Structure 1
């Protein structure tokens, strides 16, 4: 059921181990305690729903979920990139953008209206098969949300102008630059589809389209596209949340019933094309070679899709997969290997890929990749492998059901089924198929589809061919828009306050604090083992040691190998990851509550008994260095790695360098990792946070039996961070430029340190910052994206670190507008501080959004978990989130600018630009700010 493929060079961040100690009783239990049966897990996945259809053809699906006073509103149109005629590639995606630019009765940016409603998870996306728009709104705003969706479905053309088309064309072209043209390896995805599906095939091109076709898009094209494709009879509306079908139907009739049917739309049909067995050699600014194999396979409704998906998981999708175990762990030929199926509506793809380890002949990796695939096709998976893959998939579905909307919640599952299969309960059919797949079925479908000649792709380091650039659209005559239909925008109801769950506390026998909240929406227990470490625990000469050490934790522990740990996690349906911020290292575990006991057994083993085997250490160090080398080719990563040292100075704890300084990582030894673990990843430096459907007494008892007797290592002092180092003084603005020849886009970043204290009351300054750069309607984004069209998105906001507060700006822009963009950002700050202060309208919108959206912001257990951790680090009360509504409503417009101005000096920014110096430096030299060309990190 993974319908989106993952492609690109990923940082080879696996996991690593720690101290070798005797296996505990808990570990012994972990090897024998059986997980809950897959059949019982499948029974947990239920989304009861009611389906009805209006006379105009609109299909409506309603799911009732009363856990919070919110409703997901998700509108899916049965039109996507596969339906675009020749010469109009990218048009479905371009029109998705246009539908956010206001309708006849809700003019202006749609996000203005959504903010007034307190919407969360608001967005729109385009795939090969469909276009969707979604938002989760407070129940009190449901009428207005339905009005909004109905107005852009039935009353859009009167508000569609040439100016809007020109602006959004520029935004989309900058999205193409950012995601594909300026991204190392970004050309692989479009080249694969171009070669896997022949010219004329509906899936020959990807949704972003070509620069030339985007240039050619006219207003007449846009009007026709809307009339042909966006009628109610070509759409599915899903409402999921705090309402019943009986409540929903009259509302839908009221707002959508008068919209006339559109033309009969028959989305493009497509079959799996013949395999050509082509070989492609591509070159780009990558540090390591990527080799891959691609096959066209059937689409998501085909009976073979479940078996193909599970084949991908076993072969290369799971942590225990064959490709990872053979190519990465055992033979050490690759730093990363993966496989997977991606099912679209009519067709799908199956791919295997490996990132070649530096120094290894890519031909050797390709040969072994082909041999492993051939062996898998010949022998098929084992029953144990299939069970792990199915359990992992079902567990992922259960986690997704906690959310009513967003990119992957219950509304998405219902909409996909209704749109593609004509059955909102299609997710049940899919799950049943996954649960029933046998090794013989996997063997049969792989023999049928993967023995066809594969498309072979090799991406090598080198100079990328020049990308097509935009030449600008030409306005053309458009048909007359229909006369505007006046409709009254409905009012808003009474909004419910946030009911943040009650926070409870306990202490284990050894002093470990446990902070807990109960959530009953799904049978999950989510845990965060938060160590007071993070990137700031690294010594200046050892940047990356903490990251390498924590990544080793699950590479071997308690007598278990990395493969055995991965297999056990998958058997249990357990999620595990490590996240490092500047201030904390957090081991995250998400367990099905039915499997909590064995999941905690495994988590305890990983955290308390890591092995740090020399072979694992050597392999992970090599993977880390390869990941750093790739990051040094990516413009956004270069900026993120370079800027902290410029701002903080080389010796400050916050002068972090991404995954690390390659010179330092090269020097690290196993003993260094062991020493870091003993100093920082220890019980007297730990706090545990839990959100669960189980009561605290049960959770505490289970935590006590695993972690309550964990002792700090004898004779080893707990680590202490060196925050006595002062950042360098800044007397004025300065621009640093990192040359990246050929970049069609520049990454602009800026930071300044403030005198604010993160544990103080800085809400007023944060509110001012939000108006300036903190959301979609901010002045930064409204100017550079929505007015000028120079960027796909611009933002600026405070970062609340434990030991300081920084203000940063992030602005990727087209390269020929780099200098003007910095000038525009500075102008926006000057205007805010001077002639154009924050208005009552801006404050009202900000307050409305931040207050009304609170219930939606904390819908999920993971959001509650994050809030509890931040409250603990910043010394906030447990009721902080519940206080926010009252505090926002008390703000006065005259307070915001002075608070922001006192914190952020417009003349003290340290700017960093990563771009083509030949094009960019002459622009920067005109700004009157000192410019220095430097090497990136």
Structure 2
């Protein structure tokens, strides 16, 4: 993938705090036109939970199909809500098709196919200039896919480009491009391996599957095989696998089959049929006996993983296994949660899930053991829950809640026409894997028919077999990720010889074809925003959208981590964590069960400057969902037992931060640039362990009374509800919430910051195959002011986005990183610029020098050029409709506008604002704000590797231990 690898699963993934697991399965399943009104309160509609049959009826993606003479299958779904078309291309080739010595080829070739074809020098530049978003690709065991969402007038361009790389790629695959993308992929592997638990997936695959099984080796492959890939090898890989007869093309959105067919025939019809992809036998494997394995790694907590292989996605047991594992460890009310986290409190987090692929599946559960508990205690409880599920099965209530949550999640995905997980992907996967684009409905219908006994029986058939159990123990990393992920018998057979280059002559294979010119885009449509006010003064904002029967709501309180006094970091976040852990009338389990019954998702999270209670629910269930959310926000119990559980989870989050390279960099960087006592210094971290240890229930109750109150709140809503209905429901839940009469404390973030200081601070992290770099300084900016658009576009030129100068240099030219990005985070106080990347360890100093040189040159010796100017101005104007396709995207825009103090429909001004920015404006912004003088550079890496390199930079260097973070 251009940025990460992807997995397929029907059920929502269960979360587990395993940062940076970028490898593939088995993996953790781990902001004018405003209407202003004041509405009178009415009784809300207290509709009960929508039935599963009603939910399934709402999940509908009508489609038509046609097949060209060369075998290319096209699926067309019409959705006229926006002038956009999702273009989704699935190739029937993944890592399971790779022979020994060629592991990682499918993923490597996915990267190569982005570098250009015979008529397209760079795949991203024309698409982004035309207004495309979500231009990306991914590789899995079973397939390779490419996605882009384009304005309707750019569809011809997108189809021509997809056809050009399908039919006429080989004349553009040079040794230089191969070498570059090989380096990028190897750095992607190093980045994943460098994370805590980063070797987990390799070890699970090795334990579950024999050498040679198509699903055993990792999607990203082995370092040796990637190094040995020759130009002739990758050319043959393309010839063998990328014919149109091995492809499904999905066009979704502002398009119909009658219009699409001649366009597809024009661009793809002349491509000759290719060879059929060879499908290898790949059955689930039953172990001869249970296997108990252990490995040490630089991880914050002991982790227990239990895993089995299982049946493919079309097998009758696949759906009951997905639902059963979701009940076991995916629901918030899951059995493993109740037994190990809420019950005996021997774990800080648990999860479980079943991931079904084309020929095989993986059942997995994960338990992070509390430091004050033992592995044996956790295993005994986990074993008991498995035994109970296999013996008794789930209850009908558990089954209903699980299937409701899964269907509700799928409804939310219907908002997106394209991209990963959008309607195009849903249809294309069904066609590719099963021959039925509507297979998603087959799965849902199977789900609706399930009985508890169906689930129990499937679990019994598959999970009573011997399991592979792996425990990862904190300690020194003893395994080398560079030696893992391959075929698995390298110790018996010599590895392929590294490729030393090729003199193979690269020649054109197809006709010269000009790129179509995209048609103009229409005027941006952004929803109208209505305003109201509850009887207690809480302001309400509504952007009504009726594309799906769901509502997304955010109740924002003007208080975040910045309100923590020095030395008490983590207080506000811990209080916020406690809100979902029980109220005066509901336990944490009651809250979980009720939200699942409603098909609702409710969360409360603390940001740096504000805290937000978020609700996503089905429209018919809004009233009941708001009642539950109000109880969580207004009436937390702060019970002692819940506090101990939440405390252990926050301490685990702090430990996770102090072992994950990116989080370690953030913890070091904030105090260095803002100063130790500034509210921003630690506001974006999980807090201080000693401060969290010292918190009492009384402390948290006082924190709640001080900051979570109607005077600090505002409510913003996007979705399928009228303002009349919304205010009635809100009045019933929040209208009687009154102030206690005390003054709201002052929240100040404008304290002085230290002068920028040129320095390098290295945090020693032994055995790191990559170095994490975070660099930047405070800028003259404070908050948001009109006219900052030129700066945003200048930052896009230098470091924000795939086509930025920094990414094109460090990744696409030099191959030293998987990706790099720069940003100027929005804050109400002083704002900083930050550049972040993870680079191969032996290029740490070189990468720092490249970043500093590139930023210093812009604009002094290298001002913005015409291509860049068009891309960040006209290109951004063209892609605006893509940015606000979903309720969540619109809600995020509204919240951003409110936080910055902008007009609530600021996005409607952007076409004119971007259109008025010229090259001089961008160059001036870069000269004022983006220069690297006074940069603080934080390096998280192996001191023994980076120290000799840093001397050549001529910058002051300080070394600190990870324990000091």
Aligned to 2:254: 242
Aligned to 2:77: 63
Q: Is the 8 A contact 2:894 2:905 kept in 1?
A: no
Distance 1:35 1:594 in 2: 7
1:126-525 paired onto structure 2 within 5 Å = 126-179=139-192, 181-276=193-288, 277-467=290-480, 469=482, 473-476=499-502, 478=504, 481-525=507-551
Q: Is the 8 A contact 1:799 1:806 kept in 2?
A: yes
Comparing 639-648 with 161-170, greater Cα deviation is found at: 639-648
1:824-843 paired onto structure 2 within 5 Å = 824-843=850-869
Q: Secondary structure at the match of 1:474?
A: coil
Aligned to 2:22: none
Aligned to 1:545: 571
Q: Is the 8 A contact 2:222 2:482 kept in 1?
A: no
Distance 1:619 1:451 in 2: 32
- Shift, 1:558, TM fit: 3.7
1:688-727 paired onto structure 2 within 5 Å = 688-714=715-741, 716-727=742-753
- Shift, 1:666, TM fit: 1.0
- Shift, 1:479, TM fit: 7.0
Distance 1:578 1:720 in 2: 22
Matched pairs, number: 917
**Structure 1 residues 410 and 802, CA gap change in structure 2 (3 angstroms):** same
1:678 aligns with 2:728: no
How far does the alpha carbon of each residue in 1:14-71 deviate from its partner, in whole angstroms, 9 at most, with x for none? xxxxxxxxxxxx9x999x9631111111110000000110111000000000000000
Q: Is the 8 A contact 1:5 1:342 kept in 2?
A: no
Comparing 380-389 with 719-728, greater Cα deviation is found at: 719-728
Comparing 131-140 with 622-631, greater Cα deviation is found at: 622-631
Q: Secondary structure at the match of 1:925?
A: helix
Aligned to 1:618: 644
1:112 aligns with 2:130: no
Provide TM-score, normalisation by structure 2: 0.93
- Shift, 1:774, TM fit: 1.0
Distance 1:320 1:370 in 2: 18
Aligned to 2:10: 2
Comparing 535-544 with 162-171, greater Cα deviation is found at: 535-544
Aligned to 2:777: 752
Distance 2:11 2:169 in 1: 30
Q: Secondary structure at the match of 2:342?
A: helix
Q: Is the 8 A contact 1:528 1:586 kept in 2?
A: yes
Q: What's the RMSD between the two structures over aligned residues? A: 1.8
How far does the alpha carbon of each residue in 1:74-122 deviate from its partner, in whole angstroms, 9 at most, with x for none? 00001100010011111100000000000111113x1112211211112
Q: Is the 8 A contact 1:691 1:861 kept in 2?
A: yes
Distance 2:221 2:271 in 1: 30
1:83 aligns with 2:91: no
Distance 1:124 1:375 in 2: 41
How far does the alpha carbon of each residue in 1:208-228 deviate from its partner, in whole angstroms, 9 at most, with x for none? 101001001111111111111
Determine which of 514, 521, 529 is the counterpart of 2:555.
Answer: 529
Aligned to 1:741: 766
Q: Secondary structure at the match of 2:781?
A: coil
- Shift, 1:613, TM fit: 1.0
Distance 2:481 2:535 in 1: 64
- Shift, 1:905, TM fit: 3.5
Q: Secondary structure at the match of 2:775?
A: strand
1:809 aligns with 2:817: no
Distance 2:396 2:610 in 1: 40
Q: Is the 8 A contact 1:5 1:341 kept in 2?
A: no
Q: Is the 8 A contact 2:776 2:932 kept in 1?
A: no
Distance 2:453 2:16 in 1: 32
Determine which of 29, 36, 50 is the counterpart of 1:36.
Answer: 50
- Shift, 1:482, TM fit: 4.8
- Shift, 1:194, TM fit: 1.8
Q: Is the 8 A contact 1:756 1:762 kept in 2?
A: no
**Structure 1 residues 457 and 469, CA gap change in structure 2 (3 angstroms):** closer
Provide TM-score, normalisation by structure 1: 0.96
- Shift, 1:805, TM fit: 2.2
Q: Secondary structure at the match of 1:263?
A: coil
Q: Secondary structure at the match of 1:747?
A: strand
**Structure 1 residues 894 and 844, CA gap change in structure 2 (3 angstroms):** same
Q: Is the 8 A contact 1:220 1:477 kept in 2?
A: no
Q: Is the 8 A contact 2:199 2:481 kept in 1?
A: no
Q: Is the 8 A contact 1:220 1:479 kept in 2?
A: no
How far does the alpha carbon of each residue in 1:148-197 deviate from its partner, in whole angstroms, 9 at most, with x for none? 11111111111110000000000000000111x20111111111112211
How far does the alpha carbon of each residue in 1:897-930 deviate from its partner, in whole angstroms, 9 at most, with x for none? 2222212342111111100011112211210111
Distance 1:543 1:148 in 2: 51
1:857 aligns with 2:883: yes
Determine which of 945, 948, 954 is the counterpart of 1:919.
Answer: 945
- Shift, 1:663, TM fit: 1.4
Q: Is the 8 A contact 1:59 1:233 kept in 2?
A: yes
**Structure 1 residues 804 and 497, CA gap change in structure 2 (3 angstroms):** farther
Distance 2:549 2:70 in 1: 40
Aligned to 1:20: none
- Shift, 1:511, TM fit: 0.5
**Structure 1 residues 476 and 317, CA gap change in structure 2 (3 angstroms):** same
Q: Is the 8 A contact 2:781 2:831 kept in 1?
A: yes
Q: Is the 8 A contact 1:689 1:869 kept in 2?
A: yes
Distance 1:806 1:408 in 2: 34
Distance 2:255 2:840 in 1: 45
Distance 2:790 2:298 in 1: 44
Distance 1:163 1:578 in 2: 49
Q: Is the 8 A contact 2:63 2:75 kept in 1?
A: yes
Q: Is the 8 A contact 1:74 1:132 kept in 2?
A: yes
- Long gaps (5+) in structure 2: 1-8, 20-40, 484-496
Distance 1:561 1:708 in 2: 24
Comparing 926-935 with 398-407, greater Cα deviation is found at: 926-935
**Structure 1 residues 29 and 366, CA gap change in structure 2 (3 angstroms):** farther
Q: Is the 8 A contact 2:12 2:409 kept in 1?
A: no
Q: Is the 8 A contact 1:4 1:343 kept in 2?
A: no
**Structure 1 residues 141 and 410, CA gap change in structure 2 (3 angstroms):** same
Q: Secondary structure at the match of 1:488?
A: coil
Distance 1:305 1:482 in 2: 46
Aligned to 2:6: none
Q: Is the 8 A contact 2:577 2:605 kept in 1?
A: no
How far does the alpha carbon of each residue in 1:397-438 deviate from its partner, in whole angstroms, 9 at most, with x for none? 000001111211111110110100101111110100111111
- Shift, 1:629, TM fit: 1.2
Q: Is the 8 A contact 2:553 2:614 kept in 1?
A: yes
Q: Secondary structure at the match of 2:677?
A: coil
- Shift, 1:466, TM fit: 4.6
Q: Is the 8 A contact 1:510 1:711 kept in 2?
A: yes
Q: Secondary structure at the match of 1:282?
A: strand
Distance 1:4 1:147 in 2: 35
1:46 aligns with 2:46: no
Q: Is the 8 A contact 2:579 2:604 kept in 1?
A: no
Comparing 474-483 with 116-125, greater Cα deviation is found at: 474-483
Q: Secondary structure at the match of 1:178?
A: helix
**Structure 1 residues 418 and 724, CA gap change in structure 2 (3 angstroms):** closer
